[in-house]
Structure 1
Amino acid sequence: MFILIACVLLSCWVEVGTYRCPSTAPLYFPNLWNNCISAQECRRKSFVVYERTCVHSCPPGTFYQQEASTCYNTCPVHTIRIGSRCLNGTYCVSNNNQVLFNGTCVPSCPSSAPFTKDGVCRKECPADTVTNKSDCVSPSDCVVRGYFIDNTTCVKACPPEKQSILQGVCHSSCPPDKSVTVNGTACLSKQECTDKLGHFIYNNTCVPECPPTAMFSDQGSCTALCPKEKCVLGTDCILVTECVSRNSVIFRNECIAACPAEAPHAIDNVCYSTCPKDYVLDNETCIGLQQCISTRGLFKVIFNNTCVDSCPHEAPLNHQGMCVQSCPDDTVVEDMQCVDSSMCLHSSRFISNGTCVSKCPGRSPYLANGYCYPACPKDFVVTTPGQFQCISESECVKLKKMVFNRTCTAACPKESPYRLHNTCILECPHNTSIFPGNKCVSPSECPTMKDAVMYNGSCLPTCPSFAPYVHSRNCLSKCPTGFFAKGSDCLNNYNCQNVLYNGSCLSSCPKEAPNRKDKNCYSICPSETYSYQATCIDDNDCLEKKFYLFNGSCVPTCPSGSAGFTDYICQPNQGL
């Protein structure tokens, strides 16, 4: 029978002769309506399958296999033909306890097909079976018999290197999701150990009870200590919130009914021997700090972690509701209260010896930045002689005044006429120089002084006569190379608009050096240059003029008495 299978537009069809059936029901069923039918539906109707047709019975010349309810032209492999039937290996087993090989019943399987499955000799066991000696059995049959599966073999015991057993299969170690062992061999999940068996997990082993070294159970796992967020109830670790929901309290990480005498105070369901941080004792009860000192609370003070009506004499001062012996830094005493220093100063009052006062006392009459002192503090001076107001020395200087005898004064007195850093002194130090206004100036201050100069390590208002020239604010006896003197200043030669001679900038060259080249004057022109009308030129410039070179000069004609010229160079008379 001609059969063609075709798929068109993602739908598969089977052509049975001249009739097309879908791939979901590929058998032709030649009844009144010529239906298509599946193999399962064909067998359910007690029909048999022959090629691609569902028929009532096998056609003549074909062979019937009952297990498959199928007609064959020749019996398939692993069956034996008996009459018009194809029988499996059980036929041979039931007849003289033989086995089926190559379509024939034989006493035993040959070495080329040593394994048997359902009475049929095979070269190897099917993939869904394991070997039990020469038999191919299902894994479940192997385990039901009390045996174990090692790779593809059914064995009486797992080998030493595979002592972990999961569902009858030998493993070198339990898999991650079945990491708990029972009796050292069987692999279970944690849930199977705790929920199914009602046991506990200790060191990845399922045990009936936790050992003394890890006696507490945290979600079925044995532990020596409960986690931080949990506490002990009996031998179980429970959440702290669960303990609280039971109206119980926690003492030493144990959930109990009431606090013991050694820790009688319960705060947030935790027992304390003394009131914890931010709590104080009031009538044998721990209350919050704010509840004790707040105006909306008891409006009391705290001494020795206890809420009291007033501060005792050993700690008489009140600092933010706490009784203290002395006020902390940045606070001062006012009416036995510790108040912020700025609050005292901003209220037009002063601070004397850590106390807020309206007037400085006689023992500390001097006032500086709101504080009272016996004398003006360091770096401060009296504003005016006879007064008690102190200002900083820098503030005195800003007022363009001087400091004398720790007093801000308009001018230095005769007994201390000199000024050093705006302080009046008797005489200038040896390493300073006297400037106008009797000011003592050190070398380090020299760069900041206008027109000041340096000589021999000293800062001077002007240069001495033996070193009158100024270069980079230093006094020199003469200007350095590349500079010329203009008055007392050394200027760069580029600044000379005329000519330079002997370190000076002149309007013209002098008689002793009348020849000019660039900006310099020479008595004799430099090498390879020639004098022409008081200017030094090179030989090419002279020759362009059709002049002659003679004795360092460019002349219009050779002088009389010369021996003529060669290449415009006058030759001397050798006979003279």
Structure 2
Amino acid sequence: MYTLFVCMDSCPTDKLIFKNHCVSSCPNSDTAIYKRECVQCSQLGMYKDNQHCVNRCKVVQFKNRCFNTCPPDVKFAHNGSCIQICLLNASKVDEQQHDQGSLLLCTEKYPTNKFTFGNNCVSSCPQSKSLPLNGICTACHEVGKFDDGSKCVDKCRNLQHDFRCVDYCPYKFKIYNNSCVRNCPLVAPLLGLISNNYTHVSKQGCVANCPEGEFLEENKCVSWCFSRHFIYNNTCVEKCPTGAPFITDKKPNWYYIRNYDCLKQCKDTHYSLNFTCFEKCPHGFYGHKKQCIKKCPEDFPYINHGHTCVENCQTLHQGMNCYDTCPQGTYQFDETCVQNCPSSKPYNYNSKCVDVCPHFLIQNTCYEQCPYGLVGYQRKCLLKCPTEAKYRYNWECFVQCPNNTILNLQKYSCFDSCPNGKFKYQQLCYDQCPLQAPYYVKGECVDFCDGYLKGSKCLEHCPHFYDNNFNCIKECPKNSYPHGKFCKTDCPQSLPFTALFPSINNRCVEKCNNYELATENYKCILSSQCSGVIYDDTWCFQACPSQTYIKQTDGKNLCISLIPVYLMICILSLIVFINIAFGIKVWWHFYNPEQWLQRRDKSNETH
């Protein structure tokens, strides 16, 4: 195996020249292609751009090599070259974007379409200094404004913290005047819940006083005292002071913790017992003169339903107790409650003692209706109706069924209506109505239907059509037509003419045929059958209508309209008027005295 070198005048077109050798590609990174030779671009005063030598780089150059963006250790660009820092005569930095990347360009002054941020030119100000003021990116707080995330505003719509608009304060910060503060000021030293009008969530904030319904506990406004269970002057205290020794009980909260109000004295509606105020005295005690006592005094001996002592009962009483209604197991007798009615009023009716029972009586108890399984007769409850009153209606016995009720002869019962499929007639039920009352309305047979008939059923309104006998039908029969809902033999307005040769299903037509004429009573006849006059080739009349005249043609009397004659007369009259006016104008032109004298004077002057 050996290598053969051939001497040539020039390298092939697909080869490059390197040190008098033909090569496929340049052998090292320091060389590049120039005129099909591998050379060092710097020796020719040129720059290496990828694998070729160029006179000028497209973007920037560093150490005779072309770059799309400067390397990190020489990141600034000036006059097409990468440098470590910008020079004094070009100290401003403008960040420019191009297709292959970005450049930090050193310039003498900033472009007018960009903004200054520190020592850099930027197309848009960053969020930390979002306000472009006189071409300089400025923070909102530097001009006394607040940053809402997209722009500077004079006032935040919710809260502000460190000149930024926020929806919630950071941890351990409180709300004061729509600002987040770490410590409350002296003018609002208390902590309370403040409603957020934007988020509709209550958060802890600084307040001057606790709102109504809240209490002060250890510098905080609370809706319930948790550690100190007594409340005095809207403040949670460990015990009531001597100036307000009375306590009133509040209902427990969600944590089943009771609070007690400290009062100088109980409310007018409350009673006191051992310095405790009660709306109602405890069991075994009775309220009297704002105090709870064991026994009512002699001048107020009665006890009402509120466990208070009263002079007299306003309603009912049993012993020394007052009631609005008598307790269960007792009965009202005048103004007292008794366990047994006296002989003067021996009967119990609706828990009251009465002398007469107006309804049915069982063992001195009066019932408006006998209990289930019993029937009533002559104010007594019986197991069954007696023979003299054997008909039963609504659990009562009658000699005969009441009027307008129905008799069941098999069970001797009276009903208000017949079973389904039956018809009522003279207090009896029938499978179908009898001949003397053949119609039925609402299940009852009648001899006359004051409405419309659908078979034997009498209807107040007919849903479809009805005939001369007021029978409801779904459609009109042959040779009759609907006039509204009424089926009549007369032709309707939509088909007004009676056909000369009617069809099986229809004798009314919209118009007569071409060889037919319509008479004055809207019947179609043959043209030869017309014994009167013919009008408009459509009608056969006994006499011509107004504004027409008779003309005989081919043995027929035709009615001809006079309107064309009237029009012709008007036209001829107009022509005559125009001719007369024109003649008058010509005569006046030739026989006007003044013009005649002027023509004569001109003729004399000529001669």
The TM tier, using the shorter chain, reads 0.3 to 0.5
TM-score normalized by the length of structure 1:
0.38
TM-score, normalised relative to structure 2: 0.37
